[in-house]
Structure 1
Amino acid sequence: MSQRAKETFTTAPAPTPAALRARIRGLGASMTRSAQIVAEAVAADPAGCSRLTVTALAERTGTSEATVVRTARLLGYPGYRDLRLALAALAGRQESDEAPAVTAGIAVDDPLADVVAKLAHEEAQTLADTAAALDLAQLSAAVDALATARRIDIYGVGASALVGQDLAQKLLRIGLIAHAHHDPHLAVTNSVLLRPGDVAVAVTHSGATGDVIDPLRHAFERGATTIAVTGGPASPVTHYADLVLATSAARESRLRPAAMSSRTSQLLVVDCLFVGVAQRTYDTAAPALAASYEALAPRHRATAPRTARQEPRT
């Protein structure tokens, strides 16, 4: 998260166990193996770890004190003391209705019925993880910024470009000025024209896509409110983001690249943004939606089935 954002937002309160586990899953790819061991330990036993000193937790996990402190910061806490307080709060909630995540990779020879079942499970888990980890304060601030924006630019490439286009067309239908840019050159040339009162949204699962980071940086430097929708809450794109909306993704496999699973969580965030903005601007959004539905209605009406063309008799 950018320094500008850090000056505005304080550390979030203790997450639910589901949110903590979702955050750890989301950070997994960017963590060192030793940090993953510490993170998995605190997620598996928050009550026990909350009673351990930094030295004791390092000994339990076979890591170092520096790794424990670094892991706490990766999870969003200023230091290990803050993480301990959060873990104690988690233990006090005594939430027991959560089943551990099940990872079911798709094999080349899986029957189609198994493929459907596994994909359905992974999609559901991805959505649940994203919802649990989504920072509602950041989401609310993003909704406010979009609802009052003079202009909205959205940047994304590849699969994330499709998500950006989805957000843009949704906002356009409620009367907002929104443009999705998947061409890196157009993204940069538009971003340098932004100013305070405008909003720039970067959609990138990795958080390290240069073609998305560059225009967001230009927008940030020109005073626009910047939002990152990313699976990397500590990734480079967040250095230029006032607001970070973290997404989750199911585990990648040979037959299911990250672009597929990440798009599911990104689309959930897009829908949350859109509904929130529509609620805040209901007086203008409702008539705009009604007008767009009315304009499209003739194109959606079913026509009478055509009769088969009779061949001429010879």
Structure 2
Amino acid sequence: MTENEGPSPTNLVATIRAVLPSLTPAAQAIAARILDDPGMVARSTITEFSAVSGTSEATIVRTARALGFAGYSQLRFALAAAVASRAPERLVPGDLAPDDPLTDVIAKVTRAESEALADTAAQLSPDTLDAVVGAVSAARRVDVYGVGASGLVAIDMAQKLMRIGLSGHAFTDAHLAVTSAALVREGDVVVGVSCTGETSDVLGPVRVARKAGATTVAITNNPRSSLAELADHVLISAGRETAFRPGALASRISQLLIVDCVFVGVAQRTFETSDAALRATRDALDGFLADSPRRGRSS
């Protein structure tokens, strides 16, 4: 992406949401107005948008540049292309309201989940994914750090790697994560999972692991975050949190999509050993479950 081109229309809104936390307060207000009504901004001259938003034309230009465009005109053209390529409701997903009937809840949550997956796929770089797959495939060990909802993603990734015979460990406690990070070495991989990219309990161990020589990977919504700066490879997720979804449902499902892509890529690259490990673990679990009734009766 060059400065003149800016983000592509297919993932423009998702990109703006991703970088929103890293913008100045004035730029955040303008970006929020863009997200609220991208069609209106696409139709407005800079003078018109300045009047509507209550900000100066210079601030609007600086915001456009912060979003990756040469100026406001390039931002308008990209927004117009985005509006033309997507239905208006696709650009501005309806937030859940306290009085929404459950039929609307189902529709809105389903749409948000689907859009999170589509936006993540649009932003997922095959080259970056390939680099991560290569590093994980060759690693002596893979540590995954995450807390809260991202901790669930960390556990999922470690479990998947373990099923194909790799040494994967999830750490959701910062003290244990830092302890483990201090013992990694060159060739090991650490993965930090954080929607904002600013979670201190993730940044700490990733920083320690980077200093120890490990390859660092970030899974985050914000490509300009502190976590992204610490990472050798950054995989961008595109979930959006709202008032009724602070547990990051869409954020978590977009992170899980990235984890699944990494897992499948690693399983492909190490097919012989991965296939054998999958069959061995499947057989062991089948045998364990078959013996469960007998163990229950004898207890």
Using the size of structure 1 for normalisation, the TM-score is 0.76
Partner of 2:245: 256
Work out the number of aligned pairs and report it. 285
Q: Give the letter for the 2:257 counterpart.
A: L
Give the whole-Å Cα distance in 1 for the aligned partners of 2:63 and 2:84: 29
Aligned runs of 1:90-169 on 2, under 5 Å? Answer: 96-100=84-88, 101=90, 102-169=92-159
Of all paired residues, the percent bearing the same amino acid is 43
Number of the residue aligned with 1:72: 65
- SS of alignment partner, residue 202 of structure 1: strand
Q: Distance in 2 between matches of 1:83 and 1:135?
A: 26
Q: How does 1:144-293 map to 2 (within 5 A)?
A: 144-253=134-243, 255-293=244-282
1:38 CA drift (Å): 6.2
Secondary structure at 1:244 match in 2 = strand
Q: Counterparts of 2:75 and 2:56 in 1: how far apart (Å)?
A: 21
1:195 is paired with a residue whose SS is coil
Which amino acid is the alignment partner of residue 27 of structure 2?
A: A
Cα distance in 2 for partners of 1:68, 1:94 equals 19
**2:297 corresponding residue in structure 1:** none
Deviations 1:151-196 (A, max 9, x none): 1111011111110000000011111111101111110011011121
Cα deviation for residue 250 of structure 1 reads 2.7
- 5+ residue gaps, structure 2, are 294-299
Out of 29, 35, 39, the residue aligned to residue 27 of structure 2 is 35
Task: Go from structure 1 to structure 2 and tell me whether the alpha carbon gap of 1:119 and 1:98 turns closer, same or farther (over 3 Å shift).
Answer: same
* Deviation (angstroms), 1:246: 1.2
Contact 2:185–2:213 (CA under 8 A) maintained in structure 1: yes
Aligned to 1:310: none
Query: Per-residue CA shift, 1:280-313, capped at 9, x if unaligned?
Result: 1112111111111111123456999xxxxxxxxx
Separation of aligned partners in 2, 1:213 and 1:223? 15
In structure 1, the gaps of 5 or more residues are 1-9, 305-314
Match of 1:308 in 2: none
Matched, 1:16 2:17: no
CA offset digits 1:185-209 (Å, max 9, x no partner): 1100110111210101000111111
1:30-69 correspondence to structure 2 within 5 Å: 30-32=22-24, 34-36=26-28, 37=30, 40=34, 62-63=55-56, 65=58, 68-69=61-62
Contact in 2 for aligned 1:34/1:63 (Cα 8 Å) = no
* Closer/same/farther in 2, CA of residues 181 and 251 from structure 1, 3 Å limit: closer
Offset at residue 87 of structure 1 (A): 9.0
Q: Distance in 2 between the 1:251 and 1:296 partners?
A: 37
